[in-house]
Structure 1
Amino acid sequence: MTPELRAADRRSLVDTVVEQLRNQLAERAWRVGDRIPTEHELADRLGVGRNTVREAVRVLVHAGLLESRQGQGTFVRSTADPSAVLRGMKQANVRDVLELRIALETEAARLAATRRTRDDLRRLRAGLRALHQHGPQPEGAVQADDDIDFHLAVVAAAHNTALTEVYGYFSSSVREALVASLGQDGMPRLDLETHTALVDAIESGDPQAAETAARNLLMSPLRAVEALIPHDTDTRP
């Protein structure tokens, strides 16, 4: 069934067309892999010029939602709008971020234990040295940057392109949550022993030990965050 498209007004025509096409994609008007209508067809339905449609399509191609294939047309690549995902991530609280980190990083550690290379291990050991240089007192953004680099190295050692891309996209929210928690009353300091245990487990080649080490590393700050949340605002089932 061909989706209905409303005629665009004269206000910022390209933005209007982009928004309408985003909405159609979000509502699954076209499935992943479907070819969308031609520029001529979209221009007629929206009451705008083909140049306006062409520019709007380029915006969505750049955003990763559409894919142009020479001589074939434009196809749906994804119905999940990355910008909407990013906006949602910006609204996540520290507990949300930690829970997602546990899900991603325990699997990354498990894979890294069997796939890590010598270069991966060198990067992980260098990351540990950078964290040790900060000493016992947290240093806010500087320490957060080094900690994020360490965890990015763990994920990279899994050699899973999709996981690396997802975590990289997510890392800005991780950093914000980490900066917010460092030095906060009730929050544990960054534990160098658990970070070292994670690298040791990955180097040993034991997937279960690596997964457990990654979980242990993140459970301490998660428990601290949960202890700070009043029971009447805890929305978990």
Structure 2
Amino acid sequence: MSLGALRPSPLVEQATEHLREQITGGEWPVGTKLPGETTLAKSLGVGRSTVREALRALAGAGLVQARQGAGVFVIATKPREDWATRLRQAAITDVYEVRMLVEVEAARLAAQRRTDDDIAALHDALARRREAANSGSPSNPSNSGNAAFVEADIALHEAVVAAAHNPVLTGMFTEFVPVLKRRLLDLVDLLDLRSDDPNHGDEGHTALINAVVQGNAEAAGRALRDELEQTLALLHSL
């Protein structure tokens, strides 16, 4: 069976997609042993290293598995959803519950580990949130003003997580950010949260920053939990 030679760019992605189509399309059912690297490379018109990378990508998607001394076998015909995909498809209330677990501990660690540079970044993030809050008309914040406010709000939370100096926590929160931005903007627009108070949530965010700066881990965790629980309650009310 000829898979068809590939165009010169970008070869790994193209090879992965061609092989994926063979698997998801039923050409290679579950349990099938794939042709060897040399055969696949010849069929696709690429080098063995390209095939090897493509097979690694398919293994990461949960479609194939290499068995030492036996070859590479198809183990599924539907790719496994990655974490980012699951987050995009998840209910925002579920995302917030997990966010709370991550961020509350991050705030506690930030209070214990913050450096002088972190403190400066936290004060700057709070100031930028206030600037964004005051950038629109108090009686009628525009959609663009809401977007800037949400961006500044999330940037403040990113600064708190960064101050925890735990790359795993930072990585986890980074995965949340695209979903949070979209859903929080929807929430602000839908409930018109800033019509009466353009700087919605300033008191809670100020308490959070002060607790981290002062090194009070319990107060930092409590302030963040209170803020997120309020937002979660709003989400449940929709």
1:98 aligns with 2:108: no
CA–CA distance in structure 2, aligned partners of residues 195 and 82 of structure 1: 38
Q: Letter of the aligned partner of 1:144 in structure 2?
A: V
Query: In structure 1, what is the equivalent of residue 49 of structure 2?
Result: 54
Q: Deviations over 1:26-63 (max 9, x none)?
A: xxx9xxxxxxxxx9944448984583653254357689
Unaligned residue ranges in structure 1 (runs of 5+):
1-6, 23-28, 30-38, 67-80, 229-237
CA–CA distance in structure 1, aligned partners of residues 115 and 171 of structure 2: 19
Q: How does 1:1-237 map to 2 (within 5 A)?
A: 9-10=3-4, 14=15, 15-17=17-19, 41-44=36-39, 48=43, 51=46, 54-58=49-53, 65=60, 84-133=82-131, 134-135=133-134, 139-185=145-191, 190-228=200-238
- Superposition deviation, residue 64 in structure 1: 11
SS at structure 1 position matched to 2:164: coil
CA–CA distance in structure 1, aligned partners of residues 19 and 217 of structure 2: 49
Q: Letter of the aligned partner of 1:16 in structure 2?
A: H
SS at structure 1 position matched to 2:190: coil
Q: Is the 8 A contact 2:111 2:211 kept in 1?
A: yes
CA–CA distance in structure 1, aligned partners of residues 58 and 155 of structure 2: 26
Query: In structure 1, what is the equivalent of residue 67 of structure 2?
Result: none
Q: Is the 8 A contact 1:112 1:202 kept in 2?
A: yes
SS at structure 1 position matched to 2:82: helix
Unaligned residue ranges in structure 2 (runs of 5+):
7-13, 25-30, 62-78
- Superposition deviation, residue 65 in structure 1: 4.5
Query: In structure 2, what is the equivalent of residue 70 of structure 1?
Result: none
SS at structure 2 position matched to 1:51: coil
CA–CA distance in structure 2, aligned partners of residues 205 and 91 of structure 1: 37
Q: 1:50 to 1:224 in 2, by over 3 A?
A: same
Q: Letter of the aligned partner of 2:124 in structure 1?
A: A
Q: Is the 8 A contact 1:18 1:56 kept in 2?
A: no
CA–CA distance in structure 1, aligned partners of residues 107 and 210 of structure 2: 11
Q: 1:179 to 1:204 in 2, by over 3 A?
A: same
Q: Letter of the aligned partner of 2:167 in structure 1?
A: T
Q: Letter of the aligned partner of 1:99 in structure 2?
A: E
Q: Letter of the aligned partner of 1:205 in structure 2?
A: G
Larger Rg: 2
Q: Deviations over 1:100-133 (max 9, x none)?
A: 2211110110110100011111111111111112
- The TM-score normalised by the length of structure 2 is 0.67
- Superposition deviation, residue 164 in structure 1: 0.8
Q: Letter of the aligned partner of 1:160 in structure 2?
A: N
Q: 1:42 to 1:177 in 2, by over 3 A?
A: same
Q: Is the 8 A contact 1:140 1:182 kept in 2?
A: yes
SS at structure 2 position matched to 1:184: helix
